[in-house]
Amino acid sequence: MNLTNQQLLQHQAFINGEWVKAEKSFEVKNPYDNTSLGEVADLGAEETKLAIEAAENAFIPWKNLTASKRSRILKKWCALQHKHKKDLATILTLEQGKPYAEALGEIVYGASFVEWFAEEAKRVYGDVIPGHGNDKRITIIKQAIGVVGAITPWNFPSAMITRKVAPALAAGCTVVLKPSELTPFSALALAKLAEEAGIPPGVFNVVTSAKASIIGQEFCSNPKVKKISFTGSTRVGKILLSQAAEGVKKVSLELGGNAPFIVFDDASIEEAVAGCVDSKFRNAGQTCICTNRIFVQEGIYDAFISKLIPKVKALKTGSGMEVDTKVGPLINMAALESTKALLNDALSKGAKMVEGGNHLEGLLFEPTILSEAQANMDIFKKEIFGPIAAVYKFQTEDEVIRLANDTNYGLAAYFYGRDYARIWRVAEGLEYGMVGINTTLISSSLSPFGGVKESGFGREGSKYGISEYLNIKSMVWKI
């Protein structure tokens, strides 16, 4: 791997400020060409216990630092991420597959959470509440919850880490992180920069492992872990929630999505098409807030598809390291087979292929458009996580709200239109944690990220994000 700073490519886990070997290791491959990127330490429950113990030992000293001191350290970490953003993006692209430009954007996006929460560390305010008697006074303070077990996915292997770790550290918590076994190098590179930034030993630990369930079970069962933060599938999220219930741990879950993308007949078709392409095909469709079901009002249905086709046709697939690549490979063979199965089911039930539909080489799948999609197709109910744009036709506002809400998921939704009365009605009627109105760029450090229904609970980013790592304490005084 050609990096300016080869120290960023680490193969060992990071526990208590030390790089830790393991008896076993697992191989990490480039999803584009299946070449080996190297082997990484494969840890188990015992090493995870040691990491949790290190985090517990580091908790009180870290919590007791002034918020300003923690803030300064986090700002150093942020600055180092910007300084080494090209290397971090290279690592990310090679192990995850997304185009380099997208990877570079993810690094900057991820660093923005570190910058934001470095400032929020100094704004963990309490309250003074009028007492219930003349001799009573009530004060409220917020305190760091303790050791956090964080589990992050492969599709955003850098930003999903900073979005969890930065608020936890800002609040005064310590963290044990389990990154995806498919993309561990990005996590280890961030740990190397955290070490350089002066984050004390034990405050931020990275446990690499191919045995995700064992690590997750240890997080949930170990009484020293007070908080679980997980981003991943709804199926796994439910398992972790059940396991964490035994210890009544605080849990945040950011799970699957099935985002509707609604285009009303008064919308700018050009803007809607551009937003659709950006949202649907970013990271080859492998994001939890990707457009999944495209609903277009019948009066502009044909015009929308006619403008969508050339935009999708122009998307070049290939290696993420090639400058003109817009759509990289799917993450693994299971993702490819799932994409094929959803496409075949839709075609068997009446959908029409209007663009793409071909498996190219390796894990590359051609950006695809389906027209005449219907609600009885698997592609309507399931999260696609692939480059397939399924376009549905609708007639009325009430109909499309019903269709959009006809899912167990509730993460993100998008719609385009100009009628402001309708905008309010639709935005309020959609059962989703986030709604983009004439835009698909809904995620930033300033805005709370999270869903409802089986898309999970809890919020990341914004002033609300740090609350996930704090306990509220009420102190009643007699004077």
> Per DSSP, what are the bridge partners of residue 229?
150, 252
The CATH number of the domain covering residues in 6-256+454-478:
3.40.605.10
Which of 228, 230, 273 is CA-nearest to residue 249?
228
Query: What is the C-alpha to C-alpha distance for residues 445 and 163, in angstroms, rounded to an integer?
Result: 8
User: Could you confirm whether 288 is annotated as catalytic?
Assistant: yes
- Which pLDDT belongs to residue 390? 98
Q: Which sign, positive or negative, has the C-alpha torsion 269, 400, 254, 170?
A: positive
What pLDDT, on a 0 to 100 scale, did the predictor assign at position 179?
98
- How far is it, in rounded angstroms, from Cα 393 to Cα 374? 8
Q: Which of 195, 288, 460, 468 is catalytic?
A: 288
CA 378/CA 345 separation, integer angstroms: 7
DSSP letters along 330-361, please? -SSHHHHHHHHHHHHHHHHTT-EEEE---B-S
Contact 351, 380 (CB under 8 A): no
Q: Which value, in Å, is the radius of gyration of the alpha carbons in the chain?
A: 23
Q: Which of 254, 383, 460, 468 is catalytic?
A: 254
Q: Where in the chain is the domain with CATH 3.40.605.10?
A: 6-256+454-478
The angle subtended at Cα 147 by Cα 470 and Cα 16, nearest 5°, is: 140
Quick check: 15 and 24 in contact, CB under 8 A?
Answer: no
Q: What is the mean pLDDT of each run of 10 residues along the chain (479 residues)?
A: 95 98 96 98 98 98 98 98 98 98 98 98 96 95 98 98 98 98 98 98 98 97 98 97 97 98 98 98 97 98 98 97 97 98 98 97 97 98 97 98 98 97 98 98 97 98 97 97
- pLDDT confidence of residue 378: 98
Written as one letter, the residue type at 352 is: K
Reported pTM: 0.96
Express each pLDDT in 23-58 by its tens digit.
999 999 999 999 999 999 999 999 999 999 999 999
Annotated catalytic residue 254: yes
Predicted pLDDT of residue 395: 98
CA distance 83 to 74: 14
Distance CA 87, CA 85 (A): 6
Greatest CA span in the chain, whole angstroms?
77
How do residues 170-227 score in pLDDT, each as one tens digit?
A: 999 999 999 999 999 999 999 999 999 999 999 999 999 999 999 999 999 999 999 9
Q: Are 258 and 273 in contact (CB under 8 A)?
A: no
CATH of domain 259-406+412-444: 3.40.309.10
Distance, CA of 288 to CA of 145 (rounded, Å): 28
The segment(s) of the chain belonging to CATH 3.40.309.10 are: 259-406+412-444
First to last CA, the chain: 66
What is the spatial distance between Cα 163 and Cα 285, in angstroms, rounded to a whole number? 21
Q: What is the pLDDT of residue 1?
A: 83
